[in-house]
Chains A and B, each alone.
Chain A
């Protein structure tokens, strides 16, 4: 038996995460994302090709279930397309928060692409709703029996609210798909947490395959210092973020700092989406960090004190302010609008998220500080300060190594990362942890052998004889200890017991004692005896033979 892992997306790249794993004959699709950097056929994973390769009539029969790890578009963006346009009708699993927040993300993106890019609408709002209706929510550590053989379970992954790592098991073959995760907690989310599991395969993200990040305290301090400096100089701070997750994290940080420093500068959320999301966050306390869980009864940390009501026209207001705008990589939407307005002033500050997909303005800003940006016929003079946020909800290289070491799987597959870094990490995993590691590209597949456990019974006699043996040995050792004191004898208790493994057709395998064998097989004992042939005897025999021969010759002669 083997695990077949087909990477439909996020192979040697970041975006449109989609991995289909065939495990014990069951096909499970992990994540179904879209790529934000492309607007052509590369936008979605190549489902049709996969279907052709599988040779199945439709997706519903080909795939046992779809599991979505979290609500980021590069993990869920293609889901409505897959269900409503490609026609998958099987079960879809995601955690409660993901189910609650995913429609907002999808709808927001749909609107953005429709308004800003005039792109051909791939799915409608109704599609999203219909798709979400098919979703079966799951809870952390809840074991779900998808069908007779397939079992899945979600573990806390940090990253964003509701993010999960998925454990899947068919028979003895087990694997974990991490999705995106974070091994260090932040202001509002905890660190990823998983049990010790016996795994054949671990599919892990590797966004920061090479980076080792320093302490988050230092990052927080730098961010606050930059923002404070900017607003005290009368500048405006634009914080392009995803609506969910980073926005809340940074806002908690700022709100706390505003409180401590007694600042009066307004903080705005550009989109109603973020505000709506906050409502959900307030309800999803169970999925946040320990600190919030402990303290929310006294004060819900998502009730931001310093956040003010915002209208689009405020973008032209004078005076300092802090604005959270979507989308995170300034790929369009309101963050682009604000960027166009504010970038030309050197008083202002733009903070960039930790990671930007190539092709977005964010990415251009990240790769050295340009003075002029051309974006779809628009020219923007960039004079503002740029602060790169080192905040990232992704784990770093150390975290990946730590998780891999903790889980100790037999094989590791890296996805969701960039090729050179993945190659580096692969080396490290193979050399330091001694696990075979792969990083297939898109539409490549990797086959991994699995171990198969065989259940076998043992006869009573065999067990008794083993126990007797052990008893004798320990008695022997006891004498030894009395004689010489405690030394090497302790700890080497394990010694092999001898027996016969009997495997017959249509019967479960059995271990027996040697003398039981005949009885079980119902056969008679045959003895073959060997006699040692010593040279003297050989000589005797030979001379005898010769004599006999001579006698024969004699008789012949007569």
Chain B
């Protein structure tokens, strides 16, 4: 309080000029709020602040005033409640608004007064309130950095003094609040680790002269607060202290180094929860890159690697996979530790993954290991070096990881003998890479590096031989290594698009080789690509995620087309009954339908692609039945019309394939010549995948049943309806979509229409929980109901009516995974 320039700026002219501006910055905001005339144009805008802030600002002020006066009351419960109220107010106030400054300062002042309250509950509430104030102040720092730094230090010290409270809850809360502090100066942070008071002149000056400190609040009260915290009697306090200790590490490297010493000592703690939390804190530090292991810590780490508890071992390994090891010696001892752990717990195969990432993070060290290993391999006579030995396997993994390391500027010479010996470990290797790269490409990579003639034996076609294929694969690997190097869930969009491009190139390449080359191979390539796209899609979100899932659908369709083509060429088309061809055709149809209907805002290019696929699907149907079915022809025609429509304005061109079909149609509307020339037409089909996806969105749904699994079935009475309560979430579904809940018991099927009126949420996500009756329960002791959400596809005029069960009148696409609901008869004899 007492910010004189705030008051002085409350000048009518300043307010007027501020309101005249379009986008007032934070400073203007302050001026506006301090406008003395309530009738100015500013009023509505202030009132329209988030409703959570309790309406307009003056009301908040009144709240704060009332609460502050109540906080001075004589009853401790009332005081505590008032402080909690203030905390709630602070949480709802927008920290960027001008009003928040006054309110926060006022709350802070009030909290400081009650810091030494006699009642535990009040002190607990004080800590929370101070924490909330600190958050608001630090949010404020983003707008104006004048003079809050000292304040933050001061709050840190105050919280530290609370962390020595006699009440366990207060201590816990204080440590939690300390962990959430932002922008604390390094001196204060360092002091919080050491019980001995660090005497730094500059620090004393900045803190004691900068603020009028009450006599009790000098830096000593922060002294060693974390050393106390980790020695606390209650493991809950120790846990929170550990957590905060790790969380603050990102602010200062010097602090992180010292905090590591404390955390390493915590590994001797007698409570497992604390040890785990410590490991988590270390992991946190490691992900922020502020964890550098020193030699003195190594024996503790190595001890953890052979700990009796599997969770601890696992956590320790994960950390080890991320830390920086400054010395070769440490690196070697870490690798040795992992090998020991591997020998002791051979079932824990993820150690290989850790070895790989350690090696990758320390490229030159692993190159060193590779050098020695290569010597060892060369020296060993036949049979002496057994690849089965965990040690050799581990060292091989480490060596092989060197070329993937980030320090690419150094040329790492990995002897080729390493690569050739690593081939038997292909599976582990690909696991270590996160399973994202298929083994074939890895194998080819290893062979190529190992100098083995591998592709020559395998490749069939001459023009698509070794070199090109290897190139493709290495490009692919390259893209992936970049991804794994990121090692984060949220993949960078640029990187994703790069890999998508390379994948699409592969797909195109594969398509061109469908005629010349073995279909099996094409299939494998496509399948791998699809798998990769799916993986990428899982890690992405938004439009790019939708596009990736679209692409994987697309590649899926390609796969079906290739397979169908093969069948059409090989099989006798005049067979009866349901053949694999029928199934494939149906699958292709489904796939095309999904692409057509499950994506919102398909751009023109993508839509053309889908329509062409749909043309092909219809062509296949025609060739299958070898008779020109009216229905299929009708559909074909409608697709062509739509295509023409799309290309009418010349923004994109009708492909040769479509044009040829159109021509055939025009000459003979019954479509007889279509079947004859199907082979030629198929040859004309070209893939033109695009990477332009615009604002693509995918329609999807998640269906859940409450409290039901095979152990915990729902009860029903035979023959009577039973209600099932579902939780349904829908993404990007708008009101014109027609969704049905399909419930299947064996052969019988019940469709229930979903009424969107009972759904809450916005256009993007809708969710609801509803009880849906199942009318015809079977006369059985128990049964499994299969439920899924389907969406109707409004095919233009041509209806494939599915019968009068009251279900959807058009063909449908499945939106959600199929769900099993378990039932058991209530009357069991």
Please give the residue numbers on chain A whose beta carbons come within 8 Å of chain B beta carbons, in ascending order.
184-185, 187, 190-191, 193-196, 212-218, 220-221, 256, 289-291, 396, 398, 401-402, 405-406, 408, 432-434, 477-478, 481-488, 490-491, 493-494
Chain A residues, Cβ within 8 Å of B61: 481, 485-486, 490
* Contact with A491, one of B7, B110, B262 (Cβ below 8 angstroms): B110
A289 and B234 alpha carbons, distance in the complex (Å): 9
Q: How far is the CB of A31 from chain B (nearest CB, A)?
A: 23
Apart from A196-B117, A215-B265, A485-B10: 9 A-B pairs, beta carbons within 8 A: A196-B118, A215-B262, A396-B195, A401-B220, A406-B164, A432-B216, A434-B215, A478-B62, A493-B68
In the complex, residue of chain A having the shortest beta-carbon distance to the beta carbon of B113? A491
Take A481-B65, A483-B36 as given contacts and tell me if A195 and B196 are in contact as well, using a CB distance cutoff of 8 Å: no
What is the minimal beta-carbon distance from A195 to any residue of chain B, in angstroms?
7
Complex formed: what's the CA distance from A48 to B235 in Å?
Answer: 50
Q: Is the beta-carbon distance between A406 and B166 smaller than 8 angstroms?
A: yes
Closest B residue to A405 using CB positions: B216
29 cross-chain CB contacts under 8 A? A184-B231, A185-B233, A190-B233, A191-B233, A193-B166, A213-B195, A214-B195, A216-B231, A217-B231, A217-B265, A217-B269, A290-B234, A396-B195, A434-B216, A481-B65, A483-B36, A484-B36, A485-B61, A485-B99, A486-B64, A487-B1, A487-B6, A488-B1, A488-B2, A490-B64, A490-B68, A491-B68, A491-B106, A494-B72
A212 close to B195 (CB less than 8 A):
yes
Say whether A486 contacts B232, CB under 8 Å. no
Q: Which of B3-62 contact A (CB under 8 A)?
A: 6-7, 10, 33-34, 36, 38, 57-58, 61-62
Residues of B within 8 A of A194 (CB): 166
User: Does B196 contact A482, Cβ atoms closer than 8 Å?
Assistant: no
Give complex CA distance A217, B218 in Å. Answer: 27
Contacts of A494 in B (CB 8 A): 72
B779 to chain A, nearest CB (A): 51
Contact between chains at B34 and A214 (CB < 8 Å): no
Q: Write the chain A residue with the least CB distance to B196.
A: A212
Known pairs A290-B233, A491-B68; A484 contacts B34 (CB<8 A): yes
Q: How far is the CB of A400 from chain B (nearest CB, A)?
A: 12
Taking the closest CB of chain A, its distance from the CB of B687, in whole angstroms, is 63
Of B64, B119, B166, B228, most A-chain CB atoms within 10 Å: B166
Return the contact of B268 from the options A221, A290, A481, A483 (Cβ within 8 A): A221
Decide: A214 and B102 in contact? CB cutoff 8 A: no
The answer to whether A484 and B262 have CB atoms under 8 Å apart is: no
Which B residues lie within 8 Å of A401 (CB)? 220
Question: Distance in Å from the Cβ of B701 to the closest Cβ of chain A?
Answer: 46
Contact assessment for A433 and B118 in the assembled complex, using a CB-CB cutoff below 8 Å: no
Chain B residues within an 8 Å CB radius of A408: 116
Residues of chain B with a CB closer than 8 A to A289's CB: 233
With A433-B216, A490-B64 in contact, is A484–B10 under 8 Å at CB? yes
Contacts of B224 on A, CB cut-off 8 Å?
212, 398
Asked if A493 contacts B230 (CB within 8 A), the reply is no
How far is it, in angstroms, between the C-alpha of A473 and the C-alpha of B57 when the chains are bound? Answer: 22
Complex Cα distance, B36 from A456, in Å, reads 46
* CB <8 Å contact, B218 and A432: yes
Of the listed residues B2, B110, B227, the one surrounded by the most CB atoms of chain A closer than 10 A to its CB is B227
Q: How far is the CB of B406 from chain A (nearest CB, A)?
A: 35
B228 and A490 form a contact (CB under 8 A): no
A491 vs B106: C-alpha distance in the bound complex, in angstroms? 7
The distance from the CB of B432 to the nearest CB of chain A, in whole angstroms, is 31
B214 nearest CB across to chain A (Å): 10
B821: min CB distance to chain A, Å: 41
Q: Is the CB of B106 within 8 A of A481?
A: no
The answer to whether B220 and A185 touch across the interface, beta carbons within 8 angstroms, is no
What is the distance, in angstroms, from A40's C-beta to the closest C-beta of chain B?
A: 40
Set of chain B residues within 8 Å of A486, measured between Cβ atoms: 61, 64, 99, 102-103, 106
Cα(A405)–Cα(B64), bound, Å: 31
B109 pairs with A291, CB closer than 8 A: no
Assuming the A-B contacts A405-B216, A484-B10, are A291 and B271 also in contact, with contact meaning beta carbons closer than 8 angstroms in the complex? yes
Majority secondary structure, A binding face = loop
User: Which residues of A are found within 8 Å of B227, using beta-carbon distances?
Assistant: 214-215
- Say yes or no: B232 contacts A485, CB within 8 Å: no
Considering residues B34, B99, B233, B270, which has the most beta carbons from chain A within 10 angstroms of its beta carbon? B233
Q: CB of B799 within 8 A of chain A? A: no
- CB proximity of B118 to chain A, nearest CB, Å: 4
Residue B223 is within 8 A (CB to CB) of chain A in the complex: yes
Q: Would you give the 0/1 interface string for B148-185, flagging 1 where the beta carbon is closer than 8 Å to chain A?
A: 00000000000001001110000000000000000000
Docked CA distance A290–B165 (Å)? 17
CB pair A218 B68 closer than 8 Å? no
Listed from nearest, the 8 A-B pairs whose CB atoms lie closest are A217-B265, A185-B233, A486-B102, A196-B118, A190-B233, A486-B61, A212-B195, A184-B231
Q: With A215-B227, A490-B68 known to touch, is A485 a contact of B34 (CB < 8 Å)? A: yes
Given contacts A398-B224, A408-B116, A491-B68, contact A187 B270 (CB under 8 A): yes
* Cβ-defined partner of B232 (8 Å) among A185, A432, A483: A185
* Inter-chain contacts of B102 with A (CB < 8 A): 485-487
Chain B stretch 429-478: residues in CB contact (< 8 A) with chain A: none
**Complexed CA–CA distance, A482 and B6 (Å):** 16
B266 on interface, CB distance cutoff 8 Å: yes
For the complex, give the distance between the alpha carbons of A193 and B231 in Å: 15
- Of residues 228 through 248 on chain B, the ones whose CB sits less than 8 Å from some CB of chain A are 228, 230-235
Chain A residues whose CB sits within 8 angstroms of the CB of B116 once the complex forms: 196, 408
B253 at the A interface (CB under 8 A):
no
Task: Flag whether B543 is at the interface (Cβ < 8 A).
Answer: no
**B677 contacts the other chain (CB 8 A):** no
Q: How far is the CA of A217 from the CA of B780 in the complex (A)?
A: 65
Contacts of A481 in B (CB 8 A): 58, 61-62, 65
Which B residues are CB-close (under 8 A) to A190?
Answer: 233
**Set of chain A residues within 8 Å of B103, measured between Cβ atoms:** 486
Which residues of B, 654-672, contact A by the 8 Å Cβ criterion? none
Identity of the chain A residue whose Cβ is nearest the Cβ of B166 in the assembled complex: A193
CB neighbours (8 Å) of B33 from chain A are 485
* B69 touches A (CB below 8 Å): yes
Contacting residues, chain B, for A221 (C-beta < 8 A): 265, 268
Please give, as numbers and ranges, the residues of chain A lying within 8 Å of B68 by CB-CB distance: 490-491, 493
Looking at the assembled complex, report how far the CB atom of A298 sits from the nearest CB atom of chain B, in whole angstroms. 13
CA of A331 to CA of B10 in the docked complex: distance in angstroms?
Answer: 79
A493 touches B69 (CB 8 A): yes
Residues of B within 8 A of A432 (CB): 215-216, 218, 220
CA distance A117 to B2 in the complex (A): 73
Q: Given A184-B228, A484-B10, are A491 and B233 also a contact pair (CB < 8 Å)?
A: no
Q: What CA separation (Å) do A482 and B38 show in the bound complex?
A: 8
Q: Could you say which residues of chain A place their CB within 8 Å of the CB of B164?
A: 402, 406
| B106 contacts A490, C-beta separation under 8 Å | yes
Write the nearest CB–CB distance from B586 to chain A, whole angstroms.
60
Instruction: For A433, list chain B residues within 8 Å (CB).
Output: 216
Q: Which residue of A lies closest to B34 (CB)?
A: A485
How many Å from the CB of A23 to the closest CB on chain B? 21
* Chain A residue nearest in CB terms to B106: A490
Task: Using A215-B262, A217-B231, A481-B58 as known contacts, say yes or no to A487 and B216 having CB atoms under 8 A apart.
Answer: no
Closest to A216 in B: B231
Inter-chain CA distance A212–B198, complex, in Å, is: 13
Q: Mark B67-89, 1 if CB is under 8 A from A, else 0.
A: 01100100000000000000000
Note all chain A residues with C-beta closer than 8 A to B215. 432, 434
Task: Name the A residues within 8 Å of B119 (CB-CB).
Answer: 196
Q: How far is the CA of A200 from the CA of B270 in the complex (A)?
A: 40
Task: Please report the C-alpha to C-alpha distance between residue A185 and residue B452 in the assembled complex, in whole angstroms.
Answer: 65
Contacts of B266 in A (CB 8 A): 217
B65 touches which of A213, A291, A402, A490 (Cβ 8 Å): A490
Q: Which residue among A256, A396, A484 has the maximum number of chain B CB atoms within 10 Å of its CB? A: A484
Q: Which of B196, B223, B234, B270 contacts A256 (CB 8 A)?
A: B270
Shortest CB–CB separation between residue A198 and chain B, in angstroms? 8
What is the bound-complex CA distance between A402 and B102, given in angstroms? 33
- How far, in Å, is A160 (CB) from chain B's closest CB? 15
Contacts of B72 in A (CB 8 A): 493-494
